[in-house]
Chain A
Amino acid sequence: MRRQVSTTRISVDAKKCSGCRLCEQVCTFFHEKEFNPRRARIKILINEKEGVNAPLICTQCKTCISACSRSALSWDEKLGIIKVDDKKCNACGLCIDACPECAIFLDPVSNVVNICDLCNGDPECVKWCPEDVLHFVDAGKLGIVPESLPVAH
């Protein structure tokens, strides 16, 4: 079995990232109207001593869908995103462990997982990124061919 390709996704140019975490803030604000980086669907790992900042963001690879034992995750063909069924998710963490991008986060307030939903097709993090790190692009144009990767079981 081969992965399906989503048409759009957020690309990351990590070497430019300043670690400001505006993306985390606007992500939470868009979804929850408050500020809390641990409710965000994107995360910046920061190593200040080495000056390295690593954005973690969903690439819509769908590995998590097959990892979930409760069918709480599904693929939304129209929006090209992974949907989380809040009622089915029991915060077991299987998807978090399976995610190759470390981009699934347990929401400390709602206690279900948060996965990037591309903000209805106009991602806030991309709009706000001051260092030109994040771009909303057509996956085919990235030079990455996700079809060639086997789906994890």
Chain B
Amino acid sequence: MANWYGWMGTILRIDLSKGKITKEPLSEELAHNFVGGRGINSKILYAETGPNTDPLGPENVFIIGTGPTTGTLALGNGRFTLTCKSPLTGILGDGSGGGHFGAEVKFAGYDHVVIKGKTKKPVYLWINDDEVTIKDAKHLWGKTTWETQELIRKELGDPDIKVLAIGPAGENMANYALAIANDERVAAETGMGAVMGSKNLKAIAIRGSKSVKIAEPDKYMKLVREWHEDIEKQHLSHTHRDFGSAYLITVFNQVYNLGIKNSQELRKPDEEISHFLAQNYMPKVLVRSISCFSCRHGCQKFVVIPDGPFAGEKGLRPEYGCMASLCTQLGVFDFGFALKVTNLANQLGIDAQEAGPTIAMAMECYQRGILTKKDTDGLRLEWGNKKVILELLEKIAKREGFGNILAEGCRKAALKIGKGAEKYAYHIKGKSHPDRLTAYIPCVLGFALASRGWDHLRGSVFPHITPSLGPPKFWHYDPIYAKVVSDREHIDAAADMLEICKWLTEFELMEEGKGGVPRMAQLLSAITGVDFSEQKLHDACERNYNIERAYLVRMGLTRDDDVAPHHFYETPIPDGPSKGKILDREQFEKLKDAFYELKGGDVKTGAPKKETLEKLNLGYVARDLEKIGIYAKV
């Protein structure tokens, strides 16, 4: 295709070992079948890495993906996806970020950037439209993410340059180190920063002056306006805008579902933690709304702590994930500390959602005498000890002493600690999360089936966004839930391929018949000029599911890995209306059967069936699986 609309039409490839920079045309086949963003990223990951790839070796790829909507006017178009084989989980790894970085990649003229190899010395990349240079980063090594971005902007003489950087955690290859764009916009999950560190790649600076073209401008504008108007009507959209995901702390606490002290407790009386609830602290700390690129939602808030021990601390309000992981799960209920610890994690370049559960596991081991001060460099790992939490983050980033064990991530750290510590390590496929067992089973089903480990963004369904099912039924294992999760997995995949924010696609679901894949298909067609029927986008979602699934199958994963964390099955809920409940393994497995069938997978193994792959133009994937004997007995 000579003229690209939506897509820029170019993949930038950089081989750091050889210092070679090439520009590869985006193929029509790739764009039509995998759309963009996470879709094309996962396809490249599947094609270029495998079971033998060392996640921290030069052969691993580091892929930046933008979607056809990135850099336009569509709601929440500021997303980008980083994809690598994960050093944390050893399987598919990716992290999605917001802000302005993704759009700048497009404006520089690229849909995807694929980085391989490793330099001998620390470097950073400077992508200035067509000019790409590998620059010395010796002076940046050891610096925090914030310092790095500032120094690079100064050095290149433009405050407007967008920078993706790693901190000390990435340099030292802590397994869950993250990459951060423009100070606050993290692509946090599954250790993307560690992969950058393994390549000696400190940062990527980018500036672009090219245009994203729209195939049908008038039709496109009409769709965007309608979408904006519909979002405005959503009640939840306003709650989200005012409080961010942090209001979930309030909600989860009310329904006895807040993870406290490594999920040993699940509720605190509201009056005891009132200053930790968004509706109470927001009016005191709010400075102004902050938006991602070209999004009218403004769900981020810039805040300053007015008083207390963390007075003067400022930054973007932490989200639920950070507050649950690094506060409630560690026994802290202090918003000032939440901001302080989030800022520190961002500066060091650590994923809060893995660091929190890992520290929580260690604290529970300390509580139970599995760990003592002798094991922890003299630190007292007591619940709520803020000083120790901050110190542990520094140690993790430096992989120093006890921090070197925690830097492995929750699963591997527990194995290293031994003495039964695994019992307190909660993860799915090696990835942790601050959530607890919830009474709404489709939510748990989504957790278990997500391709990158424990994840609420790939099929997990919350009761408030499935109004078509009527009032939510708790502790039900209704067969319809398999379809609900499968559909939701589609919507999330479509959002990730177009690179639209999940918050805004989730709200879409509130209004029946207006949201999800059909609307995204219309938008995609107007932007790209390619006729993306609803079916064509659905097929792309199926393709994305199956190629990610096949990637895991090649690593030896089966349906036995699609399980909830062990405490969901074993530890009865201690309190509240669901007291005594556990996840029913047998019924849960039946829901999984139905899910695999819906996805055209083999119920026995969870692997995609040969005919499913062939139907989706993924014959080459079927042949790969055939070679490793997946279809031998069929």
Contact = CB atoms under 8 A, between A and B. Distances in A.
A18 interface: yes
Contacts of B160: 45-46
Contact of B290 (A18, A28, A39, A108): A18
Interface string B62-92: 0000000001110000000000000000000
Given A22-B296, A26-B73, A131-B298, A32 B211 contact: yes
Interface string B137-170: 0000000001000100000000110000000000
A16 B288 contact: yes
B294 interface: yes
Contact of B212 (A22, A24, A35): A35
A34 to B, nearest CB: 4
State the main secondary structure of chain A at its contact with B. Answer: mixed
B298 A36 contact: no
Contact of B209 (A33, A38, A46, A131): A38
Contacts of B302: 51
Nearest to B293: A21
B288 A15 contact: yes
Given A16-B288, A22-B296, A51-B287, A34 B107 contact: no
A19 B290 contact: yes
B183 interface: yes
Contacts of B107: 36-38
A49 interface: yes
Contact of A48 (B103, B184, B298): B184
A47 B291 CA distance: 12
B292 interface: yes
Interface string A124-143: 00001011000000000000
Contacts of B214: 33-35
Contacts of B289: 16, 18, 131
A45 B103 CA distance: 16
A25 interface: yes
Nearest to A129: B296
A113 interface: no
A53 B555 CA distance: 46
Interface in B212-255: 212-214, 217, 221
A20 B296 contact: yes
Interface in B582-606: none
A61 B235 CA distance: 43
Nearest to A32: B211
A46 B294 CA distance: 13
Contacts of A53: 290
Nearest to A39: B211
Given A38-B209, A130-B298, A18 B146 contact: no
A130 B100 CA distance: 17
Contacts of B298: 18, 20, 130-131
Contacts of B209: 36, 38, 108-109
A17 interface: yes
Interface residues of B, number: 41
Interface residues of A, number: 34
Contacts of A38: 107, 208-209
Interface string B96-107: 000110010001
Interface string B275-311: 0000000000001111111111110101000000000
B314 interface: yes
A25 B294 contact: yes
B210 interface: yes
Nearest to A14: B288
B182 interface: yes
Contact of A109 (B185, B211, B217): B211
A78 B314 CA distance: 47
A128 B73 CA distance: 11
B183 A34 contact: no
B314 A20 contact: no
Contact of B293 (A20, A33, A50, A131): A20
Nearest to A16: B288
Contact of A130 (B288, B290, B293, B296): B296
B66 to A, nearest CB: 13
A27 to B, nearest CB: 11
A51 B317 CA distance: 11
A18 B212 contact: no
Given A20-B295, A46-B100, A35 B290 contact: no
Interface in A41-79: 45-51, 53
B229 to A, nearest CB: 13
Nearest to A28: B211
Residue among A17, A28, A45, A130 having the largest count of chain B Cβ atoms under 10 Å: A130
Nearest to A33: B217
Nearest to A49: B183
Contact of B73 (A19, A29, A32, A46): A29
Given A33-B217, A36-B107, A18 B291 contact: yes
B288 A18 contact: yes
A16 B159 CA distance: 21
Given A48-B183, A49-B183, A34 B292 contact: no
Contacts of B316: 48, 51
10 contacts: A25-B294, A32-B211, A35-B212, A46-B160, A47-B159, A49-B184, A51-B315, A130-B296, A130-B297, A131-B289
Given A36-B210, A48-B290, 5 more contacts: A18-B288, A18-B291, A19-B290, A20-B294, A22-B295
Interface of B: 71-73, 99-100, 103, 107, 146, 150, 159-160, 182-185, 208-214, 217, 221, 287-298, 300, 302, 314-316
Interface of A: 15-22, 24-26, 28-29, 32-39, 45-51, 53, 108-109, 128, 130-131
Q: Which 6 A-B pairs have the closest CB atoms?
A: A51-B302, A20-B291, A108-B209, A130-B296, A36-B211, A18-B291
